[in-house]
Structure 1
């Protein structure tokens, strides 16, 4: 009863218009998932039905006599055309709606500039990935689904490795967190948890939006601890410690590697479905679209359309897997920072863009993190179970 009363006391701090706005923003996202899928399917259908994808392939074949290079050249106009077709939807969901809910701090020019950077990255990554995938299809026509999944899992691993060093700085400025109590606390927790803490970075997320975030990103030599300026400016020392201890938990518990392994299994299922479904669809409509077979780069819109539907269906499964990791990191963070009230109060601050108290089915389907109510209740339960501060926490303060 004491735990529930303490939990309710926190949850009741979000009332009236603030709670209604938070719920409306997050619940609107449910419909965005459906409409976003339909917009993507329409875009891919248009590229196939109008022959645009086939024309991109024809151009790439004229541009180079090297067959292996054709998918890489095709990737550039394909990525640009895809982005342009769905741009009105991207503009509404990524800029207009965010402004409407007062979550966006970026100007239109700034937003467009970062969209352009993202498109450039998509072209480069798409060229590499399509070169590998279509090489696999040509060389292993009976097992390409298996090797294709392995290749995508490898790309995911490499992306996790290089993103903190080469990708993230394209969007934000990273600098060493200044010396002071916050840094000292993070360093102490990191060392106690055996997490590399030679560098702790602060990045300027506030130039884009008002969201609080932090991470321990990278793999091996690129591991780095980062937090954004929104967290530093909006949170107390106790709240910041709770967040950073949670992020350290992801590293200590090996969640990055676990997630890559889980994604590899999801990729395997997805590629197997492509292997089974794409040839049958091409047998029916491929001639109309100008797509020869599954080894033709012009099939990319069909692959993408099937993948979008597959990942929408898989979303509750993926959310559950990620949510389980987040819950583990929450428990680790509570035991490391020993700041249950800081953890609870920062969970409430996240309610600006996360529904605080969803139903069970709602949380299962749509939440890739535990809801605010779940997290506050966990914090209050931990507080009740640890009335005397554990000795392991005292060196961290």
Structure 2
């Protein structure tokens, strides 16, 4: 539910005035102001938040372990070899064989990982009160994702194995470019063709919130003809917003939880952050950064896979260009991805910090941003150690975001005072 907070009036009005001098307020103590927000999360609520997020530290390891055991089983039982033989019988076109192989391979691996997926994506979310879907509704969404994955993987298998066959020494270099191209294409079409399969998107209604968002967008030369709201509340309790798409399909979307569960100043603060992603070209920069990650992973896989295949003739894999080698390639890629998880988190977190700074300057709602950072503590540990944050957080911690907001308030809001935030419902 939206709350009308007694402290919003003076603080937010001052924070949204244009042309303010950037001089620190001598009597405003950042630590005291930050503590007023951080103290909103105490006792059982904080223990629950920490438990949920810290449990997530292990999920990449368990995901990799489950996948690795399945890939090894497919190799040692000869199933991968038999799937390739079956695919070869279905067509005389060599380039098509990997795509046909991908269909039963993806179906089988999805089936084998289904118990773990149900626990991770449904049971665990429900246990911590974040799931709004029934199991039947969740299963329907999962089936849609499976169908999309089946088609995408069939295409990707054909492209990658064609590259491997024709560029034996440099396939890792060209292959990473192919994956980057597929990611680019996916980013382009996802908002228009994929996202609507899972949620309904409508225009943000006219009113004070839209007016403020449009004004911020205009001040930063951001197109704001369309501002979308998704019905994410049918699936999750989480509040969120995002920038998606590329070129003509790029858009800023907020979910209905953000509208229903937060105050106007919080909505505006979040949208300022999302506009930062747009203005700072973060989608393009992230794709470039992750292309370099793909490059490193493909290089390692290209060096280790041939040796593994040669030492295990019982797998029935001819060479690295054989579709039956898919479990070997994915096993190695998964292990590389696990090792590189802190790097990937740091790349994303760096861009999130940049967007935070932009959003504070654009929305000029530091108390709104601090309050929404505390709401995110439902599923993010609020105060990790520095190493912990570097290793496991792909967004800045709530404490860092609150302190950054209060520091901004001290430096940009004349006569700033320490707010007394209202409690967060459910805390």
The answer to whether the superposition gives a TM-score over 0.5 is yes
Which of the pair has more CA radius of gyration? 2
Cα shift readout 1:120-163 (whole Å, capped 9, x = no counterpart): 11111101111110111111111111100110111111111111
In structure 2, distance between residues paired with 1:44 and 1:181: 54
Unaligned runs of 5+ in 2: 1-27, 416-427
In structure 2, distance between residues paired with 1:388 and 1:71: 64
Q: Which of 331, 335, 345 is 1:305 aligned to?
A: 331
Unaligned runs of 5+ in 1: 390-397
TM-score (norm 1): 0.96
Q: Note if 1:97 corresponds to 2:109.
A: no
Query: What secondary structure, in the 3-state scheme, does the structure 2 residue paired with 1:124 have?
Result: helix
Q: Which of 167, 180, 187 is 1:153 aligned to?
A: 180
Q: Number of matched residues? A: 388
Cα shift readout 1:9-49 (whole Å, capped 9, x = no counterpart): 11111001100000000001112222221111111111111
Residue equivalent to 2:379: 353
Q: Note if 1:370 corresponds to 2:396.
A: yes
In structure 1, distance between residues paired with 2:314 and 2:240: 48
Cα shift readout 1:30-82 (whole Å, capped 9, x = no counterpart): 12222221111111111111111111111111111111001111111111111
Cα shift readout 1:196-236 (whole Å, capped 9, x = no counterpart): 21211111101111011111211100011211000010111
In structure 2, distance between residues paired with 1:75 and 1:190: 44
Query: What secondary structure, in the 3-state scheme, does the structure 2 residue paired with 1:294 have?
Result: coil
In structure 1, distance between residues paired with 2:220 and 2:182: 29
Query: Any runs of at least 4 consecutive aligned residues in structure 1 with deviations exceeding 2 A, and if so which?
Result: none
In structure 2, distance between residues paired with 1:232 and 1:49: 52
Q: Note if 1:245 corresponds to 2:309.
A: no
In structure 1, distance between residues paired with 2:239 and 2:172: 39
Q: Which of 72, 78, 92 is 1:45 aligned to?
A: 72
Q: Which of 12, 35, 46 is 1:8 aligned to?
A: 35
Which segment drifts farther, 363-372 or 176-185? Answer: 176-185
Contact in 2 for aligned 1:196/1:223 (Cα 8 Å)? no
Q: Which has the higher contact order (CA 8 A, sep 6+)?
A: 2
Shift of 1:189: 1.4
Q: Which of 397, 402, 405 is 1:379 aligned to?
A: 405
In structure 1, distance between residues paired with 2:82 and 2:220: 55
In structure 1, distance between residues paired with 2:221 and 2:118: 43
Which one has a larger percent helix, Structure 1 or Structure 2?
1
